[in-house]
């Protein structure tokens, strides 16, 4: 039988900041974006802050009302990435099968490690202690015979367990997992929870009692996945190749203010296309389907659209993508202020598979130009070559160069 761990870092960003500032260890602390910009939301809250009712994702001003002595620190994404990589290296000392699930969660298959490091609970304690000594970040560990059990063990039991370790066994699901509300099950979002409750299903155990055929007739393969998850079944292995085979390349950003004029919006769309095509070239990929995502500025009335179109042939040339994005935007924009924009490429293929063209005689030169520009940026910095439009007040290229994942490095 397999033994799988899900290792989760407690309040990761906040824990890193408390390790940086030891004098704040007994203070309620949150990591939050700049309140002067739209990113002023809680990215991470330490346990002391959570006791005041503060939750990840809520507005900073709301959190400040709940806790008057709240300590607010800005995110330092590069530090979090570096420590996440360091934690991966620690986990790899116990097994070569480590699969990152997010920046603060990683799966481990320790089935073959037990002869070296002991039984699962003993290994978990060693890993927990090792991570704490190296990073001063507390790890919670869920144990199961597969990834789904390890994940739910961590989410629902390890995080509430004083030791931070819990082993969720399939033969004990009736007394551990099944009494929980159905929306607590991994893979069940708000909409699916409503559907299940309308069927009279309130707990995970009640979902497990539903005949498989009924769920498959209702939701097809998704119904089968629901039934398997409720029964603690999962056949996906822990693998280091889980992120191979990229299916999409995209980039989006929340604007620092409402963008109203087409001229300003075009500037950001061009910058996003530049970023997406640069990422595609870095992966030696091209995309044939171009997608644009737009969110309106109003929080009360949600507006915007998500549209895509497929090109005649794949590309990673900026102006090809931009002209397509601009056409889609003009076709579906309701002329209302814009809060967020996103551009992506899908239907990817290697750039070495490009077919000969009888019509676009300049295509090869255009594509080669992109790789030359990438080489200059790699050597001299991402803003060493920018378009003139990025120098206008609408441009965000210099601001984005200071960030990782939408937050300052």
- In angstroms, the CA 12 to CA 84 distance is 9
Q: Is 316 exposed, middle or buried (0-12, 13-18, 19+ CB in 10 A)?
A: buried
In a domain, 161, yes or no: yes
- In angstroms, the CA 57 to CA 102 distance is 17
> Residues 115, 195: one domain?
no
pLDDT single digits (tens) 175-231: 999 999 999 999 898 889 999 999 999 999 999 999 999 999 989 999 999 999 999
351 is in an annotated binding site: no
pLDDT at 165: 96
> Residues 50, 128: one domain?
yes
Q: Terminal CA-to-CA distance of the chain, rounded, Å?
A: 42
pLDDT single digits (tens) 377-389: 888 888 888 888 8
Query: SS3 for 396?
Result: coil
- In angstroms, the CA 378 to CA 365 distance is 20
- In angstroms, the CA 281 to CA 375 distance is 11
The dihedral through the CA atoms of 17, 18, 24, 27 has a sign that is positive
User: Which residue, 144, 168, 192, sits at the end of a domain?
Assistant: 168
Q: Is 7 exposed, middle or buried (0-12, 13-18, 19+ CB in 10 A)?
A: buried
pLDDT band at 245 (very low <50, low <70, confident <90, very high): low
pLDDT band at 407 (very low <50, low <70, confident <90, very high): low
For 363, the token pair is: 């295509």
- DSSP 8-state assignment for residue 41: B
**pTM of the predicted model as reported, rounded to 2 decimal places:** 0.75
Number of other residues whose CB lies within 10 A of the CB of residue 141: 27
- In angstroms, the CA 360 to CA 409 distance is 41
> Residues 320, 400: one domain?
yes
Number of other residues whose CB lies within 10 A of the CB of residue 384: 11
For 272, the token pair is: 């996003």
* CATH number for the domain that contains residue 133: 3.30.70.270
User: Which residue, 140, 168, 196, sits at the end of a domain?
Assistant: 168
Active site residues: 105
Quick one: average pLDDT of 32-41? 68
8 is in an annotated binding site: yes
The average confidence (pLDDT) of the chain is: 89
Number of folded domains in the chain?
3
Range of the domain at 114: 1-168
Looking at the predicted structure, is the pLDDT value of residue 299 above 80?
no
Q: Is 380 exposed, middle or buried (0-12, 13-18, 19+ CB in 10 A)?
A: exposed
């Amino acid at each position: 039988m397999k033994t799988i761990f899900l290792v989760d870092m407690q309040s990761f960003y906040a824990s890193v900041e408390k390790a940086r500032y030891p004098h704040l260890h007994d203070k309620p602390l949150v990591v939050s974006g700049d309140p002067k910009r739209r990113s002023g939301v809680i990215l991470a809250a330490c346990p002391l802050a959570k006791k005041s009712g503060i939750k990840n994702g809520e507005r900073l001003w709301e959190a400040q009302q709940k806790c008057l002595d709240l300590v607010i620190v800005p995110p330092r994404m590069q530090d979090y990435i570096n420590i996440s990589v360091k934690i991966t290296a620690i986990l790899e000392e116990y097994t070569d099968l480590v699969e990152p699930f997010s920046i603060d969660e990683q799966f481990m298959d320790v089935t073959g490690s037990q002869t070296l490091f002991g039984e699962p609970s003993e290994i978990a304690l060693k890993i927990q202690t090792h991570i704490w000594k190296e990073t001063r970040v507390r790890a919670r560990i869920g144990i199961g015979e597969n990834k789904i059990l390890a994940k739910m063990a961590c989410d629902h039991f390890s995080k509430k367990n004083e030791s931070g370790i819990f082993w969720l066994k399939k033969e004990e699901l009736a007394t551990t997992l099944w009494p929980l509300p159905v929306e607590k099950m991994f893979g069940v979002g708000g909409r699916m929870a409503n559907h299940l409750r309308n069927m009279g299903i309130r707990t995970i155990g009640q979902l497990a009692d539903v005949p498989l055929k009924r769920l498959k007739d209702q939701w097809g393969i998704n119904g089968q996945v629901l039934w398997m998850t409720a029964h603690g079944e999962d056949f996906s292995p822990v693998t280091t190749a889980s992120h191979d085979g990229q299916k999409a390349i995209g980039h989006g950003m929340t604007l620092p203010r409402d963008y109203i004029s087409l001229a300003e919006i075009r500037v950001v769309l061009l910058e996003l296309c530049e970023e997406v095509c640069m990422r595609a070239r870095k992966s030696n990929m091209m995309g044939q389907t171009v997608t644009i995502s737009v969110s309106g500025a109003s929080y009360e009335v949600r507006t915007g659209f998500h549209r895509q179109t497929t090109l005649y042939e794949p590309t990673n040339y900026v102006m090809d993508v931009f002209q397509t994005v601009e056409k889609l935007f003009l076709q579906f924009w309701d002329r209302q202020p814009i809060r967020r924009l996103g551009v992506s490429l899908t239907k990817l293929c290697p750039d070495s598979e490009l077919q000969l063209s009888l019509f676009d005689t300049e295509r090869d030169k255009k594509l080669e130009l992109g790789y030359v520009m990438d080489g200059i940026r790699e050597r001299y910095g991402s803003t060493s070559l920018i378009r003139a439009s990025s120098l206008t007040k609408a441009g965000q290229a210099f601001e984005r160069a200071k960030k990782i994942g939408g937050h300052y490095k």
